[in-house]
A = this chain, B = another copy of it.
Amino acid sequence: MDCEIMKNKVFKEFREKLLELWHLNSALAVLSWDQEVNMPENGADLRAKTIASLAGLLHGKFVSKEFSTVINKVKKFSDNGELNKKETAIFREVWREFSREEKLSSEFVEELAELCSKSQSVWSEARKKSNFKIFQPYLEKIVELKRKEAKFVGYEKSPYDALIDTYEPGMTSEELSVIFYELKIFLVDILQKIKKSKKKIDARKLKGNFPIEKQEKLNKFIAEKMGFNFESGRMDISTHPFTTNFHPDDVRITTRYDEKNLFYSVLSTIHETGHALYEQGIEMKNFGTPLGESISLGIHESQSRIWEKNIGQSQEFWKCFYPDLKKNFPDVFRKLKLVELYEVINEVKPSSIRTEADELTYNLHIILRFEIEKELIEGSIEVADLPKIWNSKMKEYLGIKILKDSQGILQDVHWSGGSIGYFPTYTLGNLYAAQLYAKIKKDIPDLKKEIENGNFENILAWLRKNIHTHGKLYTADELIRKITGETLSSKYFMDYINNKYGKIYEL
């Protein structure tokens, strides 16, 4: 048989096997979405087991002899340089994950899954009681297993690299250390300046009563304006807002409401819509391959941040929607000037809680977590010392005194679920966003005007063309170079912060 024909035959078989895995993944996503949005209280126990069972099935299929045989056939074509560009990307991504998963025994995967499932409820209890001691032995065990995982998977310099790789393929602990160190110095410095600024922002101006029904209508209106297609998606309510996709034609976002705080929900909806537009922009024909998937958590976060921060917290954006605000909530907005609104939603105010932080101090929360995670996994600090370390860093970076564990070390769910190496992707998202947005501004000269007019078509088209449609064709590093001509740099984010907050706080 001719080599091309043989390759096509093997690749077809490969794609069919992948498709089965993707369908299982899609089903798991439906189960999880339903769990957060609809599931009645008593359904939890068995749902967790159904999810675990399907996840086990998926892992089993992935590392099965059958799948191994097919992917190793594809590998030969890859080794001989016989794959085209798209096939190369598909193979590269599946192989990366396959060789990672293959190194983990089913016993290990199950042990970790069970520990994490248990740890999450222990963490929840510990947080409620604000007592780290309750959670400590579990976190110790998690750190131990995550170190093991890193050892199984392998790494060049730091075991932490092996963990970051799950969320941000190709990124290393060393690279992050350099970027984050520079960023930390900058942020701590500008935060000092802002604290000393005479400019005071009065957040009470935005207080009021915002009926949830009206908030919901506004959210949907804005999401639709941004380009979210409700025929290929939904918007619902859940405790913690999130976006999920079963495939590009079924992408779902959630939000939550506070009657007293309009922007609590609106900004979170803009954020999630940013994620959702990425997912809706992926090409359906690539479903069942990595070309039908987002690149990394960092790039994903850049999409939500561009919409939420760069666009959604700009004056021009709210100039566009001001008539809607006035119409729906006249009591608050007929008295408020646009610039006052802009200042309140951009107020810099150090907080002990990451999820309540402004876009500037947010990154200090992340850098703190990065430093701790890295040292934990590298073994240079102990779990028992975490509250002390946490609290001292909070004082140093943000000037905040942590009074209880629930407001400090116990605030986030991530570690209890085994997600170590995840936090850095939040700040990476901000950096990617700033670097990409600088390029968007160059490419769309009338950008500000377009936003003022509620015309988001060019921005979305730009994101679609440059990012969404590619799926995982490029790595994150390849993509950012391809678009901006340089590798990831914190320079754009610092410029953006300097510029924006320099004006707001008259620095």
Cα separation A38 to B249 with both chains bound (whole Å): 13
Residues of chain B lying within 8 A (CB to CB) of residue A46:
26, 246-247, 249-250, 284, 287
Cα separation A47 to B41 with both chains bound (whole Å): 26
Q: Would A54 and B250 count as touching, CB distance under 8 A? A: no
Q: Would B53 and A19 count as touching, CB distance under 8 A? A: yes
Interface residues of A in 329-380 (CB under 8 A from B): none
Once A30-B34, A57-B20 are accepted as A-B contacts, the answer to whether A249 and B40 lie under 8 Å apart by CB is: yes
One of B20, B31, B38, B229 near A234 (C-beta < 8 A) = B38
One of B23, B34, B231 near A49 (C-beta < 8 A) = B23
Q: Would A246 and B54 count as touching, CB distance under 8 A? A: no
- A27 part of interface (Cβ distance < 8 Å): yes
- A64 part of interface (Cβ distance < 8 Å): no
Q: Would A230 and B20 count as touching, CB distance under 8 A? A: no
Q: Would B50 and A233 count as touching, CB distance under 8 A? A: no
Cα separation A417 to B403 with both chains bound (whole Å): 63
- A400 part of interface (Cβ distance < 8 Å): no
B interface footprint on A34-60 (CB within 8 Å = 1, 0 otherwise): 100011111101110110011001000
Q: Closest CB of chain B to A303's CB: distance in Å?
A: 20
Cα separation A53 to B46 with both chains bound (whole Å): 22
Q: Closest CB of chain B to A72's CB: distance in Å?
A: 23
Q: Closest CB of chain B to A237's CB: distance in Å?
A: 13
One of B42, B54, B247 near A27 (C-beta < 8 A) = B54
Residues of chain B lying within 8 A (CB to CB) of residue A247:
43, 46
- A232 part of interface (Cβ distance < 8 Å): yes
One of B26, B50, B231 near A23 (C-beta < 8 A) = B50
Residues of chain B lying within 8 A (CB to CB) of residue A30:
30-31, 34
Q: Would B231 and A40 count as touching, CB distance under 8 A? A: yes
- A24 part of interface (Cβ distance < 8 Å): yes
Cα separation A23 to B46 with both chains bound (whole Å): 9
In the complex, residue of chain B having the shortest beta-carbon distance to the beta carbon of A19: B53
Cα separation A493 to B243 with both chains bound (whole Å): 53
Cα separation A229 to B31 with both chains bound (whole Å): 21
Q: Would B26 and A27 count as touching, CB distance under 8 A? A: no
Q: Would B43 and A249 count as touching, CB distance under 8 A? A: yes
Q: Would B231 and A53 count as touching, CB distance under 8 A? A: no
Residues of chain B lying within 8 A (CB to CB) of residue A53:
19-20, 23-24
In the complex, residue of chain B having the shortest beta-carbon distance to the beta carbon of A44: B249
Interface residues of A in 10-26 (CB under 8 A from B): 19-20, 23-24, 26
In the complex, residue of chain B having the shortest beta-carbon distance to the beta carbon of A28: B27
5 contacts between A and B (CB under 8 A): A24-B54, A30-B31, A43-B247, A45-B249, A47-B246
Q: What are the nearest 9 A-B pairs in CB distance?
A: A43-B250, A23-B53, A42-B249, A42-B232, A23-B50, A41-B231, A46-B247, A26-B50, A42-B231
Using a CB–CB distance below 8 Å, which chain A residues touch chain B? 19-20, 23-24, 26-27, 30-31, 34, 38-43, 45-47, 49-50, 53-54, 57, 229-234, 246-247, 249-250, 284, 287
Q: Given A26-B46, A42-B231, A57-B57, list of 11 further CB < 8 A pairs?
A: A24-B54, A30-B30, A30-B31, A30-B34, A34-B34, A38-B38, A40-B230, A40-B231, A43-B247, A43-B250, A46-B250
